[in-house]
Amino acid sequence: MTKYLIINCDDFGQSKAANTAIMHLLEQKKVSSATIMPPAPAFEEAASWVRKSGYPNIGLHLTFTSEFAGFRWSSLTGHTSLHDDSGCMHMTVEEFEKNADPGAVRAEMIAQFKAVSKAGIAITHVDNHMGSLYGIATGRSYLPTVLWQCSKRGLPFRIFRHIYEKDTFLASIPNAKEILAKVVTLADVLGVAMPDYLISHPYHVEEGETYASFKQSLIDKLYELPEGVCETYIHPGVEDEQMQRLIPSWEKRVWEYRLMQDRDFAYALRDAGVTLTDYRYVGANLKRPRLKSGLALLKLLSLKLVPRKA
């Protein structure tokens, strides 16, 4: 079986510096796709480029947090529960989960879908900024809501069918396999396609990390990819003094932009037998039969309802 990889650029529309890097990588076909942020300050610039270029692989980066103290944005709907005292979206996932009204979350989600449609973008997939909809901080998950919205539109979503055992971050999450099985089954019932695996890597520059060590770590991952369709994400940005000052992780974003253009990385992709693909492939090939998935969901629910013996 072929090893496929989706390299998605998150945070399209966050800033001009992010847009410049992402547009260049898309134009040069160095990455698979990008996901765009309707509430973010540079959304209009990103959307305009998509319309003019006709670039086909753009997704929606559902955004419910605004994490950098010096660089904030507000929701599209303006509901007070989606904002902190500054009038901007909550800075952390925990604050969002604790304070957001479920009805307001659904309304904002729909508003962001409408914003990309109004901007003339036919999105190919959906994911989520900072994982704010997954319930990772307090257990308050909005995955059923987002999966339903994706199902209505026939769109894949960034969840993953299996946890790759060599991904130390995902494998370390308590009860991750059990939780994932329920979410995947629900997605299958709703006809929402997904990649087989998600490959994570640290968002910030770690202690002692250099561009060379970061580059080698991602090249190593290419040779270790499991068979099937994997996705990894990057947040590329060009050198920018203002962003460097406002966003603590900006140096890593510059590294990610540089890596996608690095000849050693391109060689490793070929040498490891990895084929770049996109979410159009996922949507066309990775849906599961809904009837079979419905039976699996009923089985899960029956196991939950039957009391365990003491």
Q: What is the predicted pLDDT for the residue at 179?
A: 87
Q: Which residues does 93 contact at the CB level (< 8 Å), separation at least 6?
A: 65, 130, 131, 132, 136, 137
Q: What is the predicted pLDDT for the residue at 124?
A: 98
Report how far residue 285's alpha carbon sits from residue 194's, in angstroms, rounded to the nearest whole number: 10
β partners of residue 4: 229, 275
| Domain 3-305, architecture per CATH | Alpha-Beta Barrel (3.20)
Q: What is the predicted pLDDT for the residue at 33?
A: 98
Q: What is the mean pLDDT of residues 251-264?
A: 98
Q: What is the predicted pLDDT for the residue at 301?
A: 53
Q: What is the predicted pLDDT for the residue at 292?
A: 63
What pairing do the DSSP bridges indicate for beta strands 58-62 and 3-12?
unpaired
Tokens for 7, please give them.
């390299």
Q: What is the predicted pLDDT for the residue at 227?
A: 96
Task: Find out whether 200 and 169 touch, Cβ atoms under 8 Å.
Answer: yes
Which amino acid, residue 201? H
Residue of 270, 231, 248 whose CA lies nearest to 9:
231
Task: Find out whether 158 and 125 touch, Cβ atoms under 8 Å.
Answer: yes
Confidence of residue 27 (pLDDT cuts 50, 70, 90): very high
The domain ranges of the chain are 3-305
Residues 104-140: tens digit of each pLDDT: 999 999 999 999 999 999 999 999 999 999 998 999 9
pTM > 0.85: yes
